[in-house]
Amino acid sequence: MEKKTCYITTPIYYASGEVHIGNSYSTIACDALARYKRLAGYDTVYLTGMDEHGQKIEEAAKKAGVEPQEFVDNIASKTSDLWKELKISNDGFIRTSYDYHVSAVQKMFEKLLAQDDIYLGSYEGNYCVACESFFTKTQLGEGETCPDCGAKTRIVKEESYFLRLKKYEKQLLDYIDAHPDFIMPLTRRNEVISFIKQGLEDLCVSRTSYKWGVQVPSNPKHVIYVWIDALANYITYLGYNNDETNFKKYWLDGDEVIHVVGKDILRFHAIYWPIMLMALGLPIKFKLYAHGWIMMSGGKMSKSKGNVVYPLTVKERYGLDPLRFYLCKEMPTTEDGLFTYERFIEQYNVYLANDLGNLVSRSIAMVNKYFGGSIEKVPNTDLNKDANNELERIISENVAKYHECMQSFQLQNAINAIFEIVGFANKYIDLTTPWALAKDENLKNELNDCLYHLLETLRIVTIMLQPFMVETTITIFDELGVDKDYQVFEKIAYGAKTSYKVIEKAIVLFKRLDLAEEYKKYGISE
């Protein structure tokens, strides 16, 4: 049977910014989703990339004394190296300055222009001559001054192309209405609906005040608005307006298309992008998952506040998996998440060092001590009956919950389901008291039963952790002697692997951290 397809995208990152622990979330979360989909048997394509055009980037390049292309080349290479360091498993890395993207966007624009979904009009707004920028009324400083340099702005009229949004207002509302899971979570969906219901204005989609962008072929003094250029990446990467084999496979005929975005760019993806697709006569196809922000205790991360935390700093200090784990576990589905070192260390100690790390090391130590490292499955014993039943019930319930949550991008809840099992497995040890069973030769079978349950539980938990913890899970499987065949969802049911040969001495997966010591070492303030 042909595999089902799944196409997952992150937003493409602005080449003018830098990746900190907050915005790295979109990519890490999508990576977890992409790894999950691959494990679930989907033919998965995971795309990320760079948004490289626009006035801001043109100015930043000028300031740096280089051509814009050289400027973005440098940032794109740094960003793609960072994703490698974070073991992001993206299949593609698109850049909006790539020729194939530029030509596909130009064809798209000309098509919309030819069919009158884009028309030439004029844009009127408050303009700052010094900064060469238009500002909306809400952006302006007091007395209609420029929010950047403080100079008085003037009303300027500029020739500009517009995309007809108004024309598609009803069609979009109908689409949202007919597809209740198009925009998730529901709170975001409601936000979008009420925004559209206030009435859409046609969108200004070209600029003449800078050059670094995709030119309108039939009127080259115009460059295409960055958002039109950027949103199109999701289909130009697949070959839209070029070789369309993958576009057909993963979009037109695809089974799932998932865009993951932060809440700040919800409208672009929930309004402009579907309208562009409708106007192009293409199916909307995608589901949109909008996540919150990672905040610092003092609010948003910003250079001026001096509270920016970089993913590589956390990785170098505490390892990659704790970072990936923390971000996915801390971000709720509908709200913002929080990053502080204090909370990071607390969560690390509770879930990784204590719950998971201890379970692995205790189980391996006992299998070595009482059975020389090898264990076979035995029928459930009467003595352990209640604890066994409870453990098996908790496993099957939480495996089901995990799949449900992963399928609807509720990563926090999916991780919580995993740790329900881990938590109970630790309790199971207290309930079955293997050290007491070991004292009685007649209870050898009961002891075997108990330790086999622990190893199976660990194997199941490790299968589930794979999307999040990309290094630790390999280590745990190695320690337990679980080969590839038993690391998959098809074999997740309790009892699937019937014999084990574990490593002689467990590796310390997560060394407990002491907050005061960490403060001393790094002078952590956030």
Q: Is residue 428 a contact point for ligand ME8 (CB under 6 A)?
A: no
- Pick the closest to residue 83 from 26, 161, 3 (CA basis): 26
Q: Is residue 49 a contact point for ligand ME8 (CB under 6 A)?
A: no
Output the smallest distance, CB 308 to ligand ME8, in A: 10
Q: CB-based contacts of 400: which residues, under 8 Å, 6+ apart?
A: none
Output the smallest distance, CB 387 to ligand ME8, in A: 41
Q: Is residue 14 a contact point for ligand ME8 (CB under 6 A)?
A: yes
Residue least distant from ligand ME8 (Cβ): 262
d(CA 347, CA 325): 10
d(CA 263, CA 289): 9
SS3 337: strand
Q: Which of 11, 54, 274, 322 binds ligand ME8 (CB under 6 A)?
A: 11
Q: CB-based contacts of 177: which residues, under 8 Å, 6+ apart?
A: none
Q: Is residue 196 a contact point for ligand ME8 (CB under 6 A)?
A: no
Stretch that binds ligand ME8, among 7-15, 37-45, 412-420, 486-494 (CB under 6 A): 7-15
Looking at the Cβ atoms of 265 and 488, the one nearer to ligand ME8 is 265
Q: For residue 96, give the DSSP letter.
A: T
- Pick the closest to residue 330 from 9, 16, 12, 24 (CA basis): 24
Q: Which helix (H) or strand (E) holds 261?
A: strand 256-262
Q: CB-based contacts of 133: which residues, under 8 Å, 6+ apart?
A: 55, 127, 146, 148, 209
Q: Is residue 294 a contact point for ligand ME8 (CB under 6 A)?
A: yes
Burial bucket for residue 265 (CB in 10 Å: 0-12, 13-18, 19+):
middle
**Which residues is 145 bridged to in the sheet?**
141, 152
Q: Is residue 25 a contact point for ligand ME8 (CB under 6 A)?
A: yes
Judged by CB under 6 A, the number of residues near ligand ME8 is 19
Output the smallest distance, CB 98 to ligand ME8, in A: 15
Token pair listed for 190: 């409601």
- Mode of pairing for the β-strands spanning 118-128 and 154-163: antiparallel
Stretch that binds ligand ME8, among 14-22, 68-76, 176-184, 440-448 (CB under 6 A): 14-22
Looking at the Cβ atoms of 161 and 293, the one nearer to ligand ME8 is 293
Q: Which of 230, 235, 323, 345 binds ligand ME8 (CB under 6 A)?
A: 230
Amino acid residing at 433: T
Q: Is residue 513 a contact point for ligand ME8 (CB under 6 A)?
A: no
Q: Is residue 261 a contact point for ligand ME8 (CB under 6 A)?
A: yes
- The set of long-range contacts for 40-44, using a CB threshold of 8 Å and a minimum separation of 24, is 40/403, 40/489, 41/3, 41/4, 41/489, 42/3, 42/4, 42/5, 42/6, 42/255, 42/256, 43/3, 43/4, 43/5, 43/6, 44/5, 44/6, 44/7, 44/8, 44/91
Looking at the Cβ atoms of 20 and 497, the one nearer to ligand ME8 is 20
- Pick the closest to residue 473 from 327, 331, 320 (CA basis): 320
Q: Is residue 277 a contact point for ligand ME8 (CB under 6 A)?
A: no
Q: Is residue 104 a contact point for ligand ME8 (CB under 6 A)?
A: no
Q: Which of 54, 68, 185, 262 binds ligand ME8 (CB under 6 A)?
A: 262
Q: Is residue 12 a contact point for ligand ME8 (CB under 6 A)?
A: yes
Q: Is residue 79 a contact point for ligand ME8 (CB under 6 A)?
A: no
Token pair listed for 431: 């309930």
Q: Is residue 17 a contact point for ligand ME8 (CB under 6 A)?
A: yes
Q: Is residue 23 a contact point for ligand ME8 (CB under 6 A)?
A: yes
SS3 257: strand
Residues 429-458 touching ligand ME8, rule: CB under 6 A, are: none
Looking at the Cβ atoms of 13 and 370, the one nearer to ligand ME8 is 13
Looking at the Cβ atoms of 200 and 231, the one nearer to ligand ME8 is 231
Q: Is residue 504 a contact point for ligand ME8 (CB under 6 A)?
A: no
Q: Is residue 398 a contact point for ligand ME8 (CB under 6 A)?
A: no
Q: Which residues contact ligand ME8 by CB under 6 A?
A: 11-14, 17, 22-23, 25-26, 51, 230-231, 261-262, 264-265, 293-294, 301
